[in-house]
Amino acid sequence: MAALAGASALLVVAGLVFLPVYSTSGGAASSNGQFTTSTGSATLLAVNAGAGGLMIMLAAVGVGIAVGGVLHGWRGMSSARGLLIGFTVLWCVMSVIGLASIGMFMLPTAGLAVAAVISGSRTAA
């Protein structure tokens, strides 16, 4: 389940980077008095150029969830459960902080990761 949560996290990041999540509109007046409007859509990075670092951090946390789950579930490394828990808590905190914006896209991954932590068995990954 943690591997699925990690894959879900990477899909969320890819969606936020490549899919249009903003609606754009604009207008301009020409010198002869005509007003022109335009509408369109834009990706997160097109609107917020500084969001690239956030996307890298979210991808890293998603990979951390997947790696922690795989090492704990498939390899039986009990110390990897701490890795899974830590990255899950980090993802959940970022989801709540960003709830009014991108956090709503992150909540399903948070649910999967929490379920993986709670199940905690070797078959949970």
What DSSP assignment string belongs to 31-82?
A: TTS-EEEEEEEE-HHHH-GGGHHHHHHHHHHHHHHHHHHHHHHTT--TTHHH
Give residue 23's Cα distance to chain centre: 20
- Predicted TM-score (pTM) above 0.85: no
Task: Report whether pLDDT(18) > 70.
Answer: yes
Task: Report whether pLDDT(122) > 70.
Answer: no
- The tens digit of pLDDT for each residue in 103-112 reads 999 999 999 9
Residue of higher predicted confidence among 15 and 79 = 15
Q: pLDDT averaged over the chain?
A: 87
Output the pLDDT for position 73: 78
Question: Mean of the pLDDT values across residues 50-60?
Answer: 92
- Tell me 124's DSSP state: -
The structure tokens listed for 65 are 């969830």
